[in-house]
């Protein structure tokens, strides 16, 4: 049986890799194929993806890049039809503006045993503006159904060679073949980084290339200056790198992941240096110190940070008579939050500038938090900017100018740093918006030095729920609930609740409580950020009660139980990220209905995960007419490594199993 399986595997691989990786080469066998050979559950698969990036020279503007990409995709299931809609992101502002040209796009189907080819019409291609800086070219293929093959080719023209677009080998569906060529002139040196757990085959070569140009200059000669023009030719060495990866499995996303893009197998090329003939060598990304120094020296960063003359008078009034440092920090932090609203744009650099942001009352992340740093420094508080990569941007593993897309303020006190981000209304010192909790940042000090800063919260955010419940033998459960939320659990609540009308919130809330009827709802400390959120309410529920004959069945935690394991994959190649350490605790007292006693209750459970990163306690006891239940989940470490995934999955299986067991009452 094993030999037969191996033979099938070899044949499948031969079928995949013997194919021609060219557009237009579609076969009847490909169209008849019902499932992917290596992943029968895949809704679609990339048959091949090929790309090449070349440098072009134009007199007066220098080098630009041209990237041509060809993709061929097979649709297997209805769930795979989304892959017939493609989007290419490009920069769309100022002198760095890029363009995307779709060169071809076709859909192939099998009709009456023959291959039918449909060309995408002009209405299937359009541009959509994402924000001031970015747009996407959208491609929508015609006549797509289960079994179709779609293929397209496009070209991205860019004046930006500082960092070439990442080449992603791996996707959320299988990829049979991925190939990427780079043709880089000898003048440019790039740092090469590979992400993920799969690494491509790399082949290196070079050839001689040339660029031609024209010139026009004024020449001094007898009788005065005259204009002289001509052509010239420059020969240079061009480095050719070929990257190939085959038979690439999909990465499936599940809960508790920071950014799945961090874990796809991908190639990153970051500009390290440029040496144009007859010009000085320009160094870029060599180490973290160099990266941070160059960022600090930027006119839209360090220069903006040192600007004065726009806040001093206002700050003098606010700080009048205040001498204690923590009081100063709190006053300035809250002032910036109320004075300048975040416009939704990230970035460690300033767009309009700190003075304009202060005057207009709105700005991007860089303008708000650099302004915060400047004000704290003015007040005599030792504060420096901390560069951050948001969860959306990925983890900053390598020295790179584009590793960061965010900045916060860091107040240095003794052996610790207080983290401040004034872009969010409900943030607090050391309580950053979740988008900025992403492993490590980098603080840049006035003297030019920099150091790594841990952004992960060092405290446990607690949520405690107390329930007093009584059962009616006719099928009704009534009770009162009090929930207290601290730190990040309170922050999340304020962000979710305060943006909704109370009626809308209560409608959703009742749904979450398995269609309970909620009354006497009250909330405390909605806007008092230093205090915990406290929710109290009464409820009636008829869906958590099951009566069969003379017996009653119900779950100890009612609608708060965990019904299914959030971890379902057989294997996970990336860490589990809970965002922040958290304690989730329930204390329940259930009063039994008249005429009923306990027949059976779940047994207690005490689970401790490796290194005590996670623990779970379930205690239950019966004392006559009452049942007391305690359920407590402690997530002490917010990051769990992939090697511990199997244990974590089994751990949560036990929690689900315990929380879905039922208490059984019998009539006496």
Counting Cα atoms < 13 Å in the Cβ hemisphere of 503 gives 0
Which tens digit of pLDDT belongs to each residue from 599-626?
999 999 999 998 899 999 999 999 989 9
CB-based burial of residue 576 (10 Å sphere; 0-12 exposed, 13-18 middle, 19+ buried)?
buried
| Helix or strand run (H / E) with residue 7 | helix 2-17
DSSP 8-state code for residue 14: H
Instruction: Say what the pLDDT of residue 230 is.
Output: 78
Instruction: Say what the pLDDT of residue 145 is.
Output: 96
Which tens digit of pLDDT belongs to each residue from 10-19?
344 444 434 6
| Helix or strand run (H / E) with residue 632 | strand 626-635
In this prediction the pTM is 0.90
d(CA 253, CA 248): 16
pLDDT above 90 (res 216): no
When pLDDT is averaged across residues 270-286 and rounded to a whole number, the result is 86
Please enumerate in sequence order all residues whose Cβ is within 8 A of that of 348, keeping only pairs 6 or more positions apart, or say none: 295, 301, 365, 366, 385, 387, 388, 404, 405, 406, 407
Q: Are 374 and 368 in contact (CB under 8 A)?
A: no
DSSP 8-state code for residue 142: S
Residue 30 CA to its chain's centroid (Å): 35
When pLDDT is averaged across residues 275-291 and rounded to a whole number, the result is 85
Which tens digit of pLDDT belongs to each residue from 490-542?
999 999 998 888 899 999 999 999 999 999 999 999 999 999 999 999 999 99
Phi, psi of 445 (to 5 degrees): -95, 165
Q: Give me the residues paired with residue 34 across strands.
A: none
d(CA 619, CA 605): 7
When pLDDT is averaged across residues 424-438 and rounded to a whole number, the result is 96
Strand, coil or helix: 383: strand
pLDDT above 90 (res 163): no
Distances (CA, A) of 329 to 315, 348, 412, 413: 12, 21, 12, 12
Beta strands in 186-308 (DSSP E): 188-195, 201-221, 224-248, 266-274, 282-283
Residue 311 has a CB neighbour count (10 Å cut-off) of: 21
**Tokens coding 375:** 């004000």
- Select from 157, 163, 124 the least CA-distant residue to 140: 124
3-state secondary structure 536-555: EEEEEECCCCEEECCEEEEC
Average pLDDT for the chain: 93
Instruction: Say what the pLDDT of residue 341 is.
Output: 97
Which residue do the tokens 């009354």 mark?
A: 519
pLDDT above 80 (res 227): no
Instruction: Say what the pLDDT of residue 9 is.
Output: 38
Q: 12-16, 239-243, 323-327, 560-564: lowest mean pLDDT where?
A: 12-16
Query: In the chain, what percentage of residues exceed pLDDT 70?
Result: 96
Instruction: Say what the pLDDT of residue 401 is.
Output: 75
Specify the pairing of strand 85-91 against strand 134-140: antiparallel
For every residue of 99-114, DSSP letters joined together read EEEEEEEEEEEEETTE
Query: In the chain, what percentage of residues exceed pLDDT 90?
Result: 82
Instruction: Say what the pLDDT of residue 451 is.
Output: 95
Which residue do the tokens 């059984």 mark?
A: 664
Which tens digit of pLDDT belongs to each residue from 569-591?
999 999 999 999 999 999 999 99
Confidence tier at 290 by pLDDT (50, 70, 90): confident
pLDDT above 80 (res 141): yes
d(CA 551, CA 473): 10
Please enumerate in sequence order all residues whose Cβ is within 8 A of that of 492, keeping only pairs 6 or more positions apart, or say none: 434, 485
Confidence tier at 294 by pLDDT (50, 70, 90): confident
Instruction: Say what the pLDDT of residue 224 is.
Output: 67
Confidence tier at 415 by pLDDT (50, 70, 90): confident
Confidence tier at 222 by pLDDT (50, 70, 90): low
pLDDT above 50 (res 33): yes
When pLDDT is averaged across residues 59-64 and rounded to a whole number, the result is 83
- Select from 87, 291, 319, 275 the least CA-distant residue to 186: 275
Beta strands in 78-199 (DSSP E): 85-91, 99-111, 114-119, 125-129, 134-140, 149-158, 163-168, 175-185, 188-195
d(CA 345, CA 93): 14
3-state secondary structure 256-272: CCCCHHHHCCEEEEEEE
Confidence tier at 551 by pLDDT (50, 70, 90): very high
d(CA 154, CA 140): 14
CB-based burial of residue 464 (10 Å sphere; 0-12 exposed, 13-18 middle, 19+ buried)?
middle
DSSP 8-state code for residue 602: P
Please enumerate in sequence order all residues whose Cβ is within 8 A of that of 295, keeping only pairs 6 or more positions apart, or say none: 301, 302, 348, 387, 401, 404, 444
When pLDDT is averaged across residues 35-64 and rounded to a whole number, the result is 93
Instruction: Say what the pLDDT of residue 12 is.
Output: 41
d(CA 378, CA 410): 14
Which tens digit of pLDDT belongs to each residue from 91-115?
998 889 999 999 999 999 999 999 9
When pLDDT is averaged across residues 71-84 and rounded to a whole number, the result is 97
Q: 268-277, 358-367, 535-544: lowest mean pLDDT where?
A: 268-277
pLDDT above 80 (res 1): no
Confidence tier at 75 by pLDDT (50, 70, 90): very high
Instruction: Say what the pLDDT of residue 233 is.
Output: 85
Q: 43-52, 222-231, 321-330: lowest mean pLDDT where?
A: 222-231
Q: Give me the residues paired with residue 87 across strands.
A: 138
Counting Cα atoms < 13 Å in the Cβ hemisphere of 291 gives 22
Q: Are 538 and 519 in contact (CB under 8 A)?
A: yes
Instruction: Say what the pLDDT of residue 514 is.
Output: 97
Integer distance in angstroms from the first to the last C-alpha of the chain?
A: 59
Q: Are 156 and 99 in contact (CB under 8 A)?
A: yes
């Amino acid at each position: 049986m094993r030999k037969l399986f191996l033979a099938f595997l070899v044949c499948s691989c031969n079928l995949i890799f013997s194919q021609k990786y060219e557009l237009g080469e579609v076969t009847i066998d490909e169209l008849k194929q019902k499932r992917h050979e290596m992943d029968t559950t895949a809704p679609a698969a990339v048959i091949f993806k090929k790309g090449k990036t070349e440098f072009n020279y134009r007199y007066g503007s220098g080098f630009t890049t041209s990237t041509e990409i060809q993709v061929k995709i097979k649709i297997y299931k209805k769930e795979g039809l989304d892959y017939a809609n493609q989007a290419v992101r490009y920069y769309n502002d100022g002198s760095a503006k890029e363009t995307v040209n779709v060169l071809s796009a076709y859909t192939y189907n099998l009709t009456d045993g023959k291959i039918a080819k449909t060309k995408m019409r002009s209405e299937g291609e359009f541009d959509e503006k994402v924000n001031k800086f970015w747009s996407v070219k959208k491609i929508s293929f015609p006549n797509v159904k289960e079994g179709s093959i779609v293929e397209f080719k496009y070209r991205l023209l860019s004046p930006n060679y500082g960092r070439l677009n990442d080449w992603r080998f791996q996707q959320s569906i299988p990829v049979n073949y991925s190939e990427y060529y780079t043709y880089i002139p000898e003048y440019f040196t790039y740092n090469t980084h590979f992400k993920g757990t799969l690494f491509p085959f790399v082949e290196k070569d070079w050839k001689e290339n040339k660029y031609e140009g024209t010139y026009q200059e004024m020449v001094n000669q007898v009788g005065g200056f005259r204009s002289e023009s001509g052509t010239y030719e420059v020969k240079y060495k061009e480095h050719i790198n070929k990257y190939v990866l085959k038979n690439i499995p999909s990465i499936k996303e599940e809960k508790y992941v920071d950014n799945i893009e961090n874990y796809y197998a991908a190639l990153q090329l970051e500009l390290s240096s440029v040496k144009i003939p007859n010009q000085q060598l320009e160094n870029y990304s060599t180490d973290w110190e160099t990266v941070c120094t160059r960022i600090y020296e930027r006119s839209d960063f360090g220069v903006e940070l040192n600007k004065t003359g726009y806040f001093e008078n206002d700050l003098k009034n606010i700080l009048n008579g205040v001498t204690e440092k923590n009081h100063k920090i709190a006053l300035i932090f809250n002032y910036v939050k109320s004075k300048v609203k975040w416009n939704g744009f990230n970035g460690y650099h300033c767009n309009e500038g700190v003075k304009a942001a202060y005057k207009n009352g709105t700005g991007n992340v860089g303008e708000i938090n650099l302004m915060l740093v400047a004000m704290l420094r003015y007040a005599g508080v030792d504060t420096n900017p901390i560069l951050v990569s948001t969860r959306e941007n990925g983890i900053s593993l390598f020295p790179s100018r584009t590793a960061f897309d965010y900045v916060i303020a860091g107040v240095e006190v003794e052996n610790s740093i207080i983290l401040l981000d004034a872009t969010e209304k409900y943030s607090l010192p050391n309580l950053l918006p979740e988008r900025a909790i992403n492993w490590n940042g980098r603080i840049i000090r006035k003297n030019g030095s920099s150091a790594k800063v841990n952004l992960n919260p060092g405290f446990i955010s607690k949520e405690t729920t107390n329930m007093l419940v009584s059962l009616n033998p006719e099928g009704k459960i009534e009770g009162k609930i009090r929930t207290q939320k601290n730190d990040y659990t309170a922050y999340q609540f304020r962000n979710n609740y305060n943006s909704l009308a109370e009626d809308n919130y209560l409608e959703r809330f009742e749904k979450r409580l398995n269609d309970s009827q909620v009354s006497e709802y009250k909330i405390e400390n909605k806007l008092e950020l230093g205090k915990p959120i406290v929710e109290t309410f009464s409820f009636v529920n008829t869906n958590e009660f099951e009566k069969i004959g003379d017996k009653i069945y119900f779950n100890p935690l009612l609608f708060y139980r965990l019904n299914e394991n959030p971890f379902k994959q057989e294997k996970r190649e990336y860490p589990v990220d809970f965002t922040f350490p958290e304690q989730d605790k329930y204390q329940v007292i259930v009063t039994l209905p008249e005429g009923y006693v306990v027949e059976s209750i779940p047994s207690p459970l005490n689970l401790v995960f490796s290194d005590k990163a996670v623990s779970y306690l379930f205690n239950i006891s019966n004392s006559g007419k009452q049942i007391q239940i305690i359920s407590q989940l402690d997530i002490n470490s917010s990051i769990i490594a992939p090697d511990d995934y199997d244990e974590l999955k089994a751990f949560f299986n036990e929690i689900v199993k315990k929380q879905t067991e039922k208490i059984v009452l019998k009539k006496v």
